[in-house]
Homo-oligomer: A and B are copies of this chain.
Amino acid sequence: MKIGELAKRTGMAASAIRFYESRGLLKVASRQANGYRDYPPEAVAVLTIISDAQQAGFSLDEIKQLLPADVSSWQHDALIATLQRKVADIETLQVRLTQNKAHIQSLIQLIESKPEDMDCKLNAARVIASMGITIDK
């Protein structure tokens, strides 16, 4: 498959795919007789992994560590340790998000129940104060 189709299938730009190759995340694609890159179907899966890992908060360098050029050289323990660190990171972020969400929701409550006679500035101050208290770590 040529780069355009791979791009279409993964939703990525062809330029991004070439970029990943240049950064060593993708092994150098074989070429057709005309010099065009020729990808095997598995390339879709690899790009999907890259995009998913990115969404999970991995940087391209981290992903590169997870997907070394030579697949057969994966280091069992290092790989597991990395993955476990990521799970821990995700859990930390989840706790954070849950708290922030609760705090934003109580803020919405607070603003919606704003007493009509309370002047704008006081209300704003109250909002700020509540954010300071509730979003605080």
The answer to whether B84 touches A108, judged by C-beta atoms less than 8 angstroms apart, is yes
Whether A131 is near chain B, meaning CB under 8 Å from some CB there, is yes
In the complex, chain B residues whose CB is within 8 Å of the CB of A105: 87
Q: Closest B-chain residue to A136, C-beta based?
A: B48
Copies held by the complex = 2
The answer to whether A76 touches B136, judged by C-beta atoms less than 8 angstroms apart, is no
Size of interface on A: residues with Cβ below 8 Å to B:
50
The answer to whether B128 touches A96, judged by C-beta atoms less than 8 angstroms apart, is no
The answer to whether B114 touches A76, judged by C-beta atoms less than 8 angstroms apart, is yes
Q: What are 12 inter-chain pairs, A to B, with CB distance below 8 A? A: A45-B128, A46-B132, A48-B135, A52-B100, A52-B103, A55-B96, A56-B96, A71-B121, A87-B104, A87-B108, A90-B101, A94-B98
